[in-house]
């Protein structure tokens, strides 16, 4: 573990926490070559790739520092499972640890502000995050994801985050793998406006099932890769949400496009809303629903996170 505050304390003590914006999508838009297996995880081993990754991460760090907001960064390990590392020809390399150390070095370069920055060890489902039919069963997921959870925990991340999860079964197994490390952990779903996961599980059932099946249970839940309007509709859904959901879900890493996962997956061009609109609508979730962790996902860049930070901190956009 690092010498930084625990995520549970960080969450309890912070009125609001700024999340980073898109990383992989921005690298792709910039023409950076991404590994077919590891996506952006291998960039830390090449000077040009490392520099491209650092430029984006520093932009988010600069925004957080400028507005004096606590910041959440994710390790570039979304696809860094053991099978993908081996397929990429990097067996024996500490890909998860090296990506954490890359981010930790950036964080420490920000001096006192760096102590307001927490780094989560990022994990996700084995298959396509937009295709719940590809999800692993609970037992398969526990076995598959344990290796990466252990690697990230050993590296010293501040907590573990399993994000962009479309189905309950794999989420339970993945959460059990994270819980077994003894690390604080958070689960983040993709949701539909009707208050369900992509596999059709109502949010109220998903949260209750995970809380009951995983020990220790997740510190909290997030939603990501979902537009703010979809998120608001899902959390307030009369039948598929619940007071427990609104208590345990603490934030959103939002898309800029009010499109379904299927529509996003088939979009030929980037669909985005203006940074000002994004900042206002996402920040309103803090005021209206008490959401604490707010940041960006697909379609966002520094402009969107700058506008969001300005709304959250009450300072003018520069």
Distances (CA, A) of 5 to 73, 115, 118, 246: 14, 8, 8, 25
Is 57 annotated to bind a ligand? Reply is no
Comparing C-alpha atoms, which of 146, 49, 42 is closest to residue 94?
A: 42
Is 225 annotated to bind a ligand? Reply is yes
The rounded distance, in Å, linking the Cα atoms of 167 and 138 is: 10
Kind of pairing, strands 293-296 and 71-74? Answer: unpaired
273: DSSP letter: -
Buried residues in 71-103 as b, exposed as e (16+ CB within 10 A): bbbbbbbbbbbbebbeebebeeeebbbbbbebb
Q: Determine contact, residues 100/153, Cβ cutoff 8 Å.
A: no
**What backbone phi and psi angles, to 5 degrees, belong to 254?**
-95, 145
Please, where are the H alpha helices in the chain? Answer: 7-13, 24-29, 47-67, 82-87, 95-108, 138-155, 168-179, 203-213, 228-235, 243-248, 261-266, 275-289, 302-313
The rounded distance, in Å, linking the Cα atoms of 230 and 164 is: 15
The Cβ-side half-sphere exposure at 218, using a 13 Å CA radius, reads 30
The rounded distance, in Å, linking the Cα atoms of 227 and 74 is: 20
Binding residues: 225, 297-298
Binding residues for Zn(2+): 225, 297-298
């Amino acid at each position: 573990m690092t010498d930084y505050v625990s995520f549970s304390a960080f969450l309890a003590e912070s009125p609001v926490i700024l999340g980073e914006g898109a990383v992989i999508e921005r690298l792709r838009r910039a023409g950076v070559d991404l590994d077919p297996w590891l996506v952006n995880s291998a960039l830390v081993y090449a000077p040009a790739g490392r520099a491209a990754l650092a430029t984006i991460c520093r932009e988010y760090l600069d925004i957080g520092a400028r507005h004096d907001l606590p910041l959440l960064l994710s390790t570039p390990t979304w696809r860094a499972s053991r099978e993908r590392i081996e397929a990429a020809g990097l067996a024996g390399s500490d890909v998860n640890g090296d990506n954490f150390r890359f981010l930790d070095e950036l964080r420490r370069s920000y001096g006192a502000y760096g102590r307001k920055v927490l780094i989560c060890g990022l994990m996700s489902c084995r298959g396509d995050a937009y295709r719940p039919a590809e999800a692993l069963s609970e037992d398969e997921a526990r076995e598959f994801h344990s290796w990466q959870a252990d690697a990230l925990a050993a590296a010293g991340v501040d907590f573990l985050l399993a994000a962009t999860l479309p189905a309950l079964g794999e989420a339970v197994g993945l959460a059990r793998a994270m819980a077994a490390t003894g690390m604080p952990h958070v689960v983040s779903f993709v949701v539909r406006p009707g208050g369900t996961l992509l596999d059709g599980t109502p949010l109220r059932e998903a949260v209750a099932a995970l809380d009951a099946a995983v020990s220790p249970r997740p510190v909290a839940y997030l939603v990501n890769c979902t537009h703010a309007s979809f998120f608001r509709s899902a959390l307030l859904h009369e039948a598929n949400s619940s007071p427990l959901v609104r208590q345990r879900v603490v934030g959103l890493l939002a898309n800029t496009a009010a499109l379904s996962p299927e529509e996003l997956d088939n979009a030929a061009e980037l669909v985005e809303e203006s940074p000002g609109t994004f900042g206002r609508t996402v920040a309103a979730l803090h005021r209206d629903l008490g959401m604490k962790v707010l940041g960006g996902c697909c379609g966002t860049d520094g402009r969107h996170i700058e506008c969001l930070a300005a709304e959250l901190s009450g300072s003018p956009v520069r």
